[in-house]
Amino acid sequence: MKLKWWKILCMVFLCFTFTAGFLIRVPMVGNLHQSIRNFFFHVPMWFGQMGLLSLSLVYSIAYLRTQNLRYDIYASELAKTGIIFGLLGLATGSIWAKYTWGEFWSNDPKQVCVAIALLIYMAYLVLRGSMNDIDKKARISGVYNIFAFFIYIPLIMIVPRMVQSLHPGGMEGAKGGGNPALGGGSLDATMEMIFWPAVFGWLLLGIWISNLKIRLYLLANKNVIHE
């Protein structure tokens, strides 16, 4: 079995996350207690999702420029993995929210944004499913993917900063300075040391999963897609 360097890196990072993430001494922040360890699993899901969806966008643009069907397959499989990451992030987040904010779902702006993202990308899959002609499917869904990404990203970058939020980094976030993804000052040095490897580990895992699915798809449709 041939292992690429980044796959090894992914495994090392994730093993590190799972061992060190559960074993280190964590700072006590508010009512988070030990649940702050979820930080290594919940937040990287969002980095992973954003990374995968951005890659999906890149391949959609590449498809429209070159009309190479492989890129369309890349875009759709990356988007699918992005949806899975989104669902996992929502699940880990809801469980965390239940024990810190008291409710699985509290209509927090970020929760709403995520729900919208999932709806958008599921609509993308519905659109893909509604057409049979592969060239047409690739072109039209590529257009939708690009359009959706550019509408959605500015909103999740701007809206959470404008309104009050239970998440750190809302409008009146203390030191967060309004970054919707990070709690800013609440991350201490040891946590940061595990957090960034966790982010890259999960992102690489997402790419790995998509990579396998793409290869499977290309093998199954060998007679349709040429180099």
Q: Shortest distance, CB of residue 225 to another protein, whole angstroms?
A: 20
C-beta of 155 vs 216, nearer to another protein: 155
- The Cα–Cα gap between 93 and 3 comes to 33
Question: Which residues, 4 to 63, sit near another protein by CB under 8 A?
Answer: none
The 8 Å CB, 24+ separation contacts for 122-125 are 122/83, 123/148, 124/76, 124/79, 124/148, 125/76, 125/79, 125/80, 125/83
Report the phi/psi class of residue 126: left, alpha or beta, with left for phi > 0 and alpha for psi in -120 to 50.
Answer: alpha
Kindly state whether residue 148 participates in binding another protein, applying the rule CB under 8 A.
Answer: yes
Q: Shortest distance, CB of residue 162 to another protein, whole angstroms?
A: 7
Question: Which residues, 55 to 94, sit near another protein by CB under 8 A?
Answer: 64
Mask of contacts with another protein, 127-146, x by CB under 8 A? x--xx----x--xx-xxx-x
Q: Shortest distance, CB of residue 124 to another protein, whole angstroms?
A: 8
- The Cα–Cα gap between 218 and 13 comes to 29
C-beta of 37 vs 70, nearer to another protein: 70
> Which residue in 6, 22, 147, 196 binds another protein (CB under 8 A)?
147
Kindly state whether residue 157 participates in binding another protein, applying the rule CB under 8 A.
Answer: no
Report the phi/psi class of residue 133: left, alpha or beta, with left for phi > 0 and alpha for psi in -120 to 50.
Answer: beta
Exposed, middle or buried, 10 (CB in 10 Å: 0-12/13-18/19+)? buried
Kindly state whether residue 152 participates in binding another protein, applying the rule CB under 8 A.
Answer: yes
- The Cα–Cα gap between 29 and 176 comes to 14
Kindly state whether residue 150 participates in binding another protein, applying the rule CB under 8 A.
Answer: yes
Asked if 147 and 88 count as a contact pair (C-beta separation under 8 A), the reply is no
The residues of the shown chain that bind another protein, judged by CB under 8 A, are: 64, 112-113, 116, 119-120, 122-123, 126-127, 130-131, 136, 139-140, 142-144, 146-148, 150-152, 154-155, 158-159, 162
